[in-house]
Structures are given as C-alpha cells and as structure tokens.
Structure 1
Amino acid sequence: MNNEYGRRKGLHVIKFLLLGALFIAVIGFVTMQLWNCLIPDLFHGPQISFWQALGLLLLGKLLFGWNHHQRSWGDKWNRGREWKARFKEKMATMTPEEREKMREQLSNRCRSGFGRWQKEEWDDFKKEEKETH
C-alpha cells in the first residue's frame, strides 16, 4: 500500500520502530555508563545494568512527568498583567452606573470576616444575638 507520495507505508513504520528502539537503547546505554562512572566513585553506590538504567529512566519519567511544556514563572506573571489590562479596558468602556454597580458587587464579595455575609444578614444575626442575651 502506498501513501500520497508514492512510498510504501510499511517501510516508514518499520523505520520509525527501528529508530525508536535505537534511541531508547542509546539513552539506556548512556545512562548506564554515566551512572557506573559517577555513582560508585562519588557515593559508593552499586553499578547498574542496562535494564536497570532503563528502569531508572522510566521511574524518573513517572515521578517527574512526561512533558516539558510547562510554562515558566515569567509566563505566569505575564498572564496576570494581561488579565489586568483586559479588566481596565472593560472598565473604560462601562458607563458610570455600570462601574458603580460593579464596585458594589466587588465590595460585597470582598468583605472582611468569615464567609460572604450580606449587610442585611449580618444585621439580622446581630439582632438575634442581642435578643438571646
């Protein structure tokens, strides 16, 4: 069976599998050699075999993750700045009444104390407390 370029698909799959196996073998061999050159001399640790080196690589991937696409701290700070810029743009396009309504909603959400108590609920709570004492 041929692909769109007139090449056989089977050859590409076999080549991919062989190169993948070669890559894993080279990485395992390099890990084994580095371990056996450094760890026994520095820390008096044991020497390891090729299969133990592959096991260490797999363990490291399981513990520390499979991808390296995590964002840096700089990206996180930049996202915060983007959010602030969008918020300022939104506030600039609001009417004074809409701004005042938003400020009131935010102040209700950000009240000090435990939970998100509304002023009326707090007053009712205080009245009940005075009546019981």
Structure 2
Amino acid sequence: MRSRFNNNKKKFILMPFGIAALLAIISYVVMLLWNNLLPQILHVAPITFWQAMGIFILCKLLFGFGRGGGGAPWGRHRMEERFKGMTPEEKEEFKEKMKHRLCGWKRNHSENS
C-alpha cells in the first residue's frame, strides 16, 4: 500500500513539469509556424516565444480543450441533455424563444448594414 502511494506522489509532483514542458514545446512550434509562414503570406510581424504561448492559450480558451465528440466546446452536450429532458410543450416554447432572439438579431443586423 505504501509503494502505491509513493508512486502516485511522484506522478503528482512530476505532472506540473510535464505540463510545462508540453506547453513550451507547443508554444515553440506555434512560434516557428507563425514566423516561417505568416510574415510571407499575410505580411505580419514575427512573434516571440511568449507571444506564441499567449496565442496558444487564447485559442484554447476560445475554442476549447479538445474534449472530443466533434461538438462545440461551449456546452453542446449539456444543452442536448437538457433538451432531451423537456416535454414537447417546453421544447416548442424554447424553440420560439430562440427563433425570436435569432430573428430579432438578424433583423437588427441587416438594418445596420
């Protein structure tokens, strides 16, 4: 029992170093790709390692952390579960609310154009 605890303790201590190493490698790859492709294609300035790390973290926050399933990272599965538990009347009410919101946005958006 004691050896199992020590093994988990080692993993717990080494995990932050592994995560930091993985983040550093990915940031370096992002920096290399950016600096070798985008200045010639889009005429943007090269970036530093820390800027590449910031871009990578921002993308992960905006687009999700890859939970799988091919869905959007903003709670699609949770919404599907909630929708399954609704009665037909609740589903229709929800659809009407969303239609009103989206159609109102579309109408306001087209008026501004």
Q: Which residue of the partner structure matches residue 58 of structure 2?
A: 59
Residues 32 and 6 of structure 1, relative CA distance in 2, 3 Å threshold: same
Shift of residue 24, structure 1, vs aligned partner: 0.6
The whole-number CA distance in structure 1 between the counterparts of 2:90 and 2:27 is 49
TM-score (ref. length: structure 2): 0.52
Shift of residue 33, structure 1, vs aligned partner: 1.3
Shift of residue 56, structure 1, vs aligned partner: 1.7
The whole-number CA distance in structure 2 between the counterparts of 1:82 and 1:15 is 45
- Which one of 76, 79, 84 corresponds to residue 83 of structure 2? 79
Shift of residue 30, structure 1, vs aligned partner: 1.4
Unmatched segments (≥5 aa) in structure 2: 66-72, 92-113
Residues 79 and 41 of structure 1, relative CA distance in 2, 3 Å threshold: same
Q: Which residue of the partner structure matches residue 70 of structure 1?
A: 75
Residues 26 and 80 of structure 1, relative CA distance in 2, 3 Å threshold: same
Which structure has more RCO (C-alpha within 8 Å, separation ≥ 6)? Answer: 2
Higher helix share: 2
The whole-number CA distance in structure 2 between the counterparts of 1:57 and 1:79 is 33
Matched length: 82
Instruction: Please list, as runs of the form range in 1=range in 2, the aligned pairs for 1:12-23 lying within 5 A after superposition.
Output: 12-23=11-22
TM-score (ref. length: structure 1): 0.46
